[in-house]
């Protein structure tokens, strides 16, 4: 019995590897991959950086021309009914001046921890009341920026079906997601993006409700029960999964992009306060380069990197090699 299991396991591994070889041979890979970054003012501040200064540095020195930007509910509507778009205006205006193309994320689930960015006054609302306020917030954001030419697409929520990851998050609800998407469609003709976990999500509802599907892609993560783990997935899995889901469940969906490619370490809480030198050891330049190489083998032609704030933080602590490498991509 044990020998049969071993043979079956080896056969499976051979088939998987053969699948990657066949994919590499027959797939029409893009001649050029368009790279962008996700930028978070909150994460920049967490690292002790002046977020406006490094945002300009990112635009002018890195020459970033594709951006995914959050719209944090907790920052824009700190006081109920009082909307302050000063910081959002700054990011969009500065990017627009330089001709950058933007994906604007709307909704309560946004890039960066704690994932669900509720203002304190909304914490005690009932689910029904909370959803009404979320829709009101989404409408405020979209109506303000719907005519902004720099915005290429609107992403509705960020990985809305990962409720077990994050704080203050409600369970993902496909009906409410569809309500949000329909609201955005009623306000603008810009393409809609919905994202899902590349490794843990089914992709079906996000792909059905969007014009463009956004997958995340992580190679090494931390789990409190298992410690640091690497996903044993070959690159073609993402493209094959995209093709199958689109063909069977979402024929109207236009394309898949990688909206979030891990380009910084996923650190356990005990490692978050480590020195820059230790963090650079945990996530070496060689590892970053291998992740880029891996992502290009998926065959997708648009990739948004996750970690620009961290690269700049490392540069300020004597490790410019990450930024120097990224400059060769952008």
The pLDDT value recorded for residue 212 is 99
Closest CA to 138 of 150, 147, 128, 146: 146
Distance, CA of 179 to CA of 241 (rounded, Å):
26
Query: Going by DSSP bridges, is the β-strand pair 302-306/34-38 parallel, antiparallel, or unpaired?
Result: parallel
Q: Where are the domains of the chain?
A: 1-31, 33-327
The pLDDT value recorded for residue 230 is 94
The pLDDT value recorded for residue 18 is 62
Distance, CA of 276 to CA of 316 (rounded, Å):
9
Query: Going by DSSP bridges, is the β-strand pair 220-223/227-230 parallel, antiparallel, or unpaired?
Result: antiparallel
The fourth-level CATH superfamily of domain 33-327 is Glycosidases (3.20.20.80)
Residue 70 DSSP SS3: coil
Question: Across the chain, how many H-helices and E-strands are there?
Answer: 13, 10
If one counts every other C-beta atom within 10 angstroms of the C-beta of residue 83, the result is 15
The pLDDT value recorded for residue 109 is 98
- Phi then psi for residue 322, to 5 deg, are -70, -50
From first to last of the 330 residues of the chain, give the pLDDT tens digit: 555 434 444 444 445 556 666 666 566 778 899 999 999 999 999 999 999 999 999 999 999 999 999 999 999 999 999 999 999 999 999 999 999 999 999 999 999 999 999 999 999 999 999 999 999 999 999 999 999 999 999 999 999 999 788 999 999 999 999 999 999 999 999 999 999 999 999 999 999 999 999 999 999 998 888 888 999 999 999 999 999 999 999 999 999 999 999 999 998 777 777 789 989 999 999 999 999 999 999 999 999 999 999 999 999 999 999 999 999 999
The pLDDT value recorded for residue 21 is 64
77 neighbors 111 (Cβ within 8 angstroms) = no
Does the predicted TM-score (pTM) go above 0.85?
A: yes
């Amino acid at each position: 019995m044990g020998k049969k299991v071993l043979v079956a396991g080896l056969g499976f591994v051979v088939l998987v590897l053969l699948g990657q070889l066949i994919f590499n041979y027959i797939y029409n890979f893009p001649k050029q991959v368009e790279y962008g970054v996700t930028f978070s003012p909150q994460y920049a501040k967490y690292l002790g950086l002046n977020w406006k200064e490094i945002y300009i540095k990112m635009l002018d020195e890195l020459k970033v021309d594709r951006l995914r930007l959050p719209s944090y509910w907790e920052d824009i509507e700190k006081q109920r009914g009082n909307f302050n778009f000063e910081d959002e205006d700054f990011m969009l205006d500065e990017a627009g001046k330089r001709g950058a193309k933007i994906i604007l994320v709307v909704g309560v689930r946004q890039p960066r921890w704690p994932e669900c960015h509720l203002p304190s006054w909304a914490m005690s609302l009932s689910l029904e009341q909370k959803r009404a306020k979320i829709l009101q917030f989404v409408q405020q954001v979209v109506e303000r920026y719907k005519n902004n030419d720099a915005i290429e697409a609107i992403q509705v929520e960020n990985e809305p079906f990962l409720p077990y990851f994050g704080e203050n998050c409600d369970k993902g609800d496909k009906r409410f997601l569809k309500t949000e998407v329909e609201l955005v469609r009623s306000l603008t003709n810009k393409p809609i993006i919905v994202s899902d976990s590349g490794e843990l999500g089914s992709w079906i509802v996000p792909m059905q409700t969007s014009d463009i599907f956004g997958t995340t892609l992580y190679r090494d993560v931390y789990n409190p029960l298992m410690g640091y783990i690497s996903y044993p997935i070959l690159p073609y899995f993402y493209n094959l999964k995209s093709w199958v889901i689109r063909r069977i469940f979402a024929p109207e969906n236009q394309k898949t992009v990688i909206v979030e490619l891990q380009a910084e370490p996923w650190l356990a809480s005990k490692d978050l306060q480590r020195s820059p030198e230790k963090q650079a050891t945990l996530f070496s330049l060689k590892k970053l380069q291998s992740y880029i190489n891996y992502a290009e083998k998926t065959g997708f032609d648009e990739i948004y990197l996750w970690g620009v704030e961290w690269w700049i933080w490392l540069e300020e602590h004597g490790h410019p090699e990450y930024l120097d490498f990224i400059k060769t991509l952008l």
